[in-house]
Amino acid sequence: MKHLTYAVVGTGAIGGYYGAKLARAGQEVHFLLHSDYEYVRENGLRVSSCDGDFCLPAVSAYASAQDMPKADVVLVALKSTNQHLLGTLLPPLLHPATLVILIQNGIGLEADVQTWFPTQPLAAGLAFICSAKTEPGHIRHQCYGSINLGNYSCADASLFQTVLSDFCAAGIDAHEVPYLEARWRKAVWNMPFNGMTVALHTQTDALLQNPATRQLIYEQMMEVIGAAHALGIDALDERFAQKMMQMTDEMVPYSPSMRLDFDFHRPMEIHYLYTRPIAEASAAGFAMPRLEMLERELLFIDAQNTR
């Protein structure tokens, strides 16, 4: 089995966690950092985890993609609001067979990136994890941690399977899921909880403890499932929505990534998390009125919060 070289673009709560797990397991991983580059270069990466804390005292850290070696696999964990940066960040890391895995939230990401890199193999990475990075070089992993990988345009099945094996060997619960199903499966949780924690200025637990918002969350989940059905994805149903509700009931009180972006006055990922899936559902003849209302509220909030 070929020993792969990995690069992480966006060493935050998600990319930093999966990259650190791979590096800890002995994989060659190169990390692109921004604000905490100097700190990580001198101090390494620390992961405080519900599965056991660990520290990587020395990592291959870079402040510029131009200085990084080419990789066999690039894990892109940037916020989708920074998607425009990929045209500059990715080329130094790519050879023709490099697999780019977009561990990002939303619908339509791979289609857009493929237009910029028409021949590059792409895959989706859908992380089910509660994790945050609120200090330089320190990732706090609260619970869960699995990842679904959906093959978008990778013709090399052995490469894709090697990546899955590497994740599993690193202690990451990783599974292959059909691409479009993987994206919409994650949207069932993402679309209700990311926006609602912002609009109502709360956390996941409070939304489910109140009967009114619990019912609204469920109805929003069923809108996402209805959209998935309109797009030909039959694997999702009300049982999956109920499973997501139960999973969230059992989680620690959590602020999703969009809520953290709001708290830190960063632009929110509204386009790929709301606007794009709503448009794709509409094109398939399915309306998402509850989530359309939430999208418009978020657009207002975002404009006020980032001006």
SS3 track for 35-75: CCHHHHHHHCEEEEECCCCEEECCCEEECCHHHCCCCCEEE
Q: Is the pLDDT of residue 45 over 90?
A: yes
Q: Quote the pLDDT of residue 134.
A: 79
Gap between the terminal Cα atoms of the chain: 51
Sign of CA dihedral 281, 284, 288, 294: positive
Question: Structural domain boundaries of the chain?
Answer: 5-177, 181-305
Q: Quote the pLDDT of residue 288.
A: 98
pTM for this prediction: 0.95
What distance in Å separates the CA atoms of residue 68 and residue 128, rounded to the nearest whole number?
Answer: 28
Does residue 186 carry a catalytic annotation?
yes
Q: Quote the pLDDT of residue 231.
A: 98
Class of domain 5-177: alpha beta
Radius of gyration of the CA atoms of the chain, in A:
19
Q: Quote the pLDDT of residue 71.
A: 98
Once rounded to an integer, what is the mean pLDDT over residues 3-32? 97
Q: Is the pLDDT of residue 1 over 80?
A: no
Q: Is the pLDDT of residue 165 over 60?
A: yes
For domain 181-305, which architecture applies? Answer: Orthogonal Bundle (1.10)
pLDDT tens per residue across span 177-204:
999 999 999 999 999 999 999 999 999 9
- The number of residues in the chain equals 307
Q: Quote the pLDDT of residue 15.
A: 97
Ramachandran bin of 36, using left for φ above 0, alpha for ψ from -120 to 50, beta for the remaining angles: alpha
Q: Quote the pLDDT of residue 180.
A: 97
Contacts of 97 (CB under 8 A, 6+ apart): 72, 121, 156, 159
What distance in Å separates the CA atoms of residue 68 and residue 298, rounded to the nearest whole number?
Answer: 37
Contacts of 22 (CB under 8 A, 6+ apart): 6, 29, 166, 167, 170, 172
Instruction: Band the pLDDT of 206: cuts 50, 70, 90.
Output: very high
Nearest to 175 by CA among 148, 151, 146: 148
Instruction: Band the pLDDT of 307: cuts 50, 70, 90.
Output: confident
**CA angle at residue 163 from 98 to 7, to 5 degrees?**
50
Q: Which residue is catalytic, options 21, 79, 133, 186?
A: 186
Contacts of 282 (CB under 8 A, 6+ apart): 288
- Percentage of the chain with pLDDT > 70? 99
